Structure 1
Amino acid sequence: MMGCGSSMETSVSGDQVPNAALSLQQNGGANTTNIVRQYVRLDEQISKVEGGCPGPRLATAEAWIEHLQAKRDAMLGLEGMPKVMQTETARDEPEGLPLTLAGGRSTGNEIVANTPTNDLAQLAHNLGIIGDPRKASMHEDFFANLSESALYLLSIRYYGELLEHTKQRVKTLSASYAELNELYVNQDGIIAYISGGTYMTRLEESIDEQLESARDTRDKLGSAMEQWRICGTLLRAAANSATQALKQWRQLNKLIDPKQKLQAALDCRSLLHASLTSLEAAQLALPHVELRYMSHRQVLAVNHCNTYLITDISNAARYEHTSRVFNSYESSMSKTCTWLYETFNKTLRRDFDKAEQAVRRLAQTLREHREEIFNAARK
């Protein structure tokens, strides 16, 4: 390819004239120096923009959106349903209706299925479970079912938020990708204006082929970089939520008022679930990488404690056990996050930087060679 790199695909029909070439034609041609300078400026700008690999990153982000959408559809019970029916079902679904009614997870208890999370605090207060171990033990399965239903709804909400966040990322990458496409088209117009779109020397062709190969290697690594970026961002969010939840949990024993204590427990529960959901999504984003320091057994333990958290705060022994579980999870989550970033910087980041340096070196060599032969051709 004469001007376009592997970071994009572009085509110009025979009836269309690239902006740069059209400008030159309308001006009756420009002097050689200005034409070549314009080519050099465009090529330098291309080198900067394509270094961010907007094309490969965009493809990865779009694939991630499809993955998140499929995950959320499965949770909503929409998996396999045509898109039109999915939209109609989502529109007809009453706001706040628990998924236990529409999905396959119904407990057979209408009170559990229809009790909103916001009403749980009042219900717990009315039953007097806060501060009374006997009453808490009596109602623990009931409140565990309430928590399970509420946390399932939270998962759906969190995945919806992840979808929206990723869509914003796609918009940003799309803008960079469009900018790169335009730069390539304009550069090709100048090259076509000077050389007729053919290689002027064998050296030019050889360097261009090497550059395309280097770009391909760099772009593949750029796509992987986006996967690791997604995973790293989610792990950082998981670690932050775990730390906030642990701080909240440690404050519970200092609270006297039952309503305040229960509200703090509910906030802690939401933070922990946000952390667990972010961790789950991070593993989905990078499925072939085993995250160190975090075991499936530990995740199950945290999830179990979170489900029974409302009643366990009234039992001193269970409170201490839950504290140990949460402490261990927060510590492991922090280690996992640190490990991922260190591994990334030692491996993929180095490989990408090396590949990008090779691209820049070849691009500069080709730019300088073309500058020389273009100036000679117009004399």
Structure 2
Amino acid sequence: MGCGTSAILDSPQTDSLSVARGRMKNKNSVDEFIHLDEEISEMEGLCPGPRLATAEAWIEHLQEKRDALVLNTDLTQYNSAKDQTVTDSTVVTVNQEFINDSPSKDLTRLVINLGVLTDKHKASAQEDFFANINKSALEVVSMRYYNEILDHTKSRVKLLTENYRTLNELYVQQDGIIALISGGTYMTSFEESLDSQLETARDVRDKLGSTLEQWRICGLLLRACSKSASQGLQFWKSIKALRSPKDVIHLVLECRNNTQASLIALECAQLSLPNVEIKFVSNRQVLAVKHINTYMITDIADELRYNHVTKVLETYEENMQNASSWLYETYNSTLRKDFDKAESTVKTLSGKLRSHRHELFIKETERK
């Protein structure tokens, strides 16, 4: 009994229990079988099987990347963690200590006192100092966004687990009715042949269903990447209109954090589809964005540098929008069509088998 899906990349997370609760109870066992079979067909469309396996594997992969980030942290006070096994509680503790003891805690005061917002010579002299502060802060931001992506995926797994459990309960109920009427054996060779064909078709669809979840993950991450890139650019362009140094620093940090969130989302999107080269994304551009994000604070005073950062962020934001659109267009023109064809085959065979069993079961119940 397969578990495929017809959900699109950005499909809402349907509550499977509402499907189960909506089923009408019927005293007639044959009618009950038909209702169950139809419901199973709909539940299989939510893909609790292949999608769940893919999502669980994705969580493990993300945790490995997140844990490596903790262990490779460049702050000496956490070097002792490198010889320990990283757990979720370790990450939470380290993350919170980073935030409480972050070098950017007094950043506003430092920036104002050192005059790096208005004097490009002072900014140039202090750029390495503030770059180091930014690097430490960006490690905190990176861990935070990895954790957010993990939490989102865990919620997805919880939903799929509930769907999978509900579907299996329906299978048990259906098998019970079949056993009651036919003794759990095939009543005709045609029934056996249809069931065999259906299982083969379900296997094909389920393999595509697993791939669908990968593309769904990548698609959602690229959308998040594009959205954060747009927000970061908006913050950066708003800086020049401000007069208060505190307001300027606030927007710079908002720009920095959103840009880092975009980079993390892009990194995870590439990890989720390792065998797909995402169009409009280049390592050179990613390195350029990482560089400006590190030196962003000291680039404001220098008009040439400010304009350079603006151009880099504009190009990056445009490319991320294009990359997101490309992924969805590619999905709809390739994988989606393949899946729809496989799903159509499953539904056709399922309908034939359901109709044939209905005739058989009616005759059997009348005979008894």
TM surpasses 0.5:
yes
Partner of 2:193: 206
Native 8 Å contact 1:96 1:116 kept in 2: no
Give 1:202 shift: 0.2
- State the alpha-carbon separation in 2 of the partners of residues 233 and 241 from structure 1: 12
Structure 2: unaligned runs, 5 residues or longer:
5-25, 73-80
AA aligned opposite 1:181: N
- State the alpha-carbon separation in 2 of the partners of residues 80 and 357 from structure 1: 52
SS at match of 1:97: helix
AA aligned opposite 1:323: T
Cα RMSD after superposing both structures: 2.1
Distance 1:269 1:92, change over 3 A: closer
Note the 1:250-289 alignment, pairs <5 A: 250-289=237-276
Structure 1: unaligned runs, 5 residues or longer:
9-29, 99-112
Q: Deviations over 1:254-294 (max 9, x none)?
A: 11221111111111111101001100000001110000011
Partner of 1:248: 235
SS at match of 1:95: helix
Structure number, greater radius of gyration? 1
Native 8 Å contact 2:209 2:339 kept in 1: yes
Note the 1:1-379 alignment, pairs <5 A: 5-7=1-3, 34-77=28-71, 86=87, 89-90=90-91, 93=94, 95-97=96-98, 115-378=102-365, 379=367
Q: State the TM-score, normalized to the length of structure 1.
A: 0.85
Q: State the TM-score, normalized to the length of structure 2.
A: 0.87
How many residues in Structure 1 have an aligned counterpart in Structure 2? Answer: 337
Instruction: Report % sequence identity.
Output: 53
Distance 1:321 1:240, change over 3 A: same
Q: Deviations over 1:130-161 (max 9, x none)?
A: 11111111100010011011101110111011
- State the alpha-carbon separation in 2 of the partners of residues 215 and 80 from structure 1: 46
- State the alpha-carbon separation in 2 of the partners of residues 44 and 81 from structure 1: 54
Distance 1:91 1:335, change over 3 A: closer
Partner of 1:102: none
AA aligned opposite 2:112: H
Distance 1:89 1:246, change over 3 A: closer
- State the alpha-carbon separation in 1 of the partners of residues 251 and 89 from structure 2: 37
SS at match of 1:54: coil
- State the alpha-carbon separation in 2 of the partners of residues 81 and 197 from structure 1: 56
Native 8 Å contact 1:237 1:275 kept in 2: yes
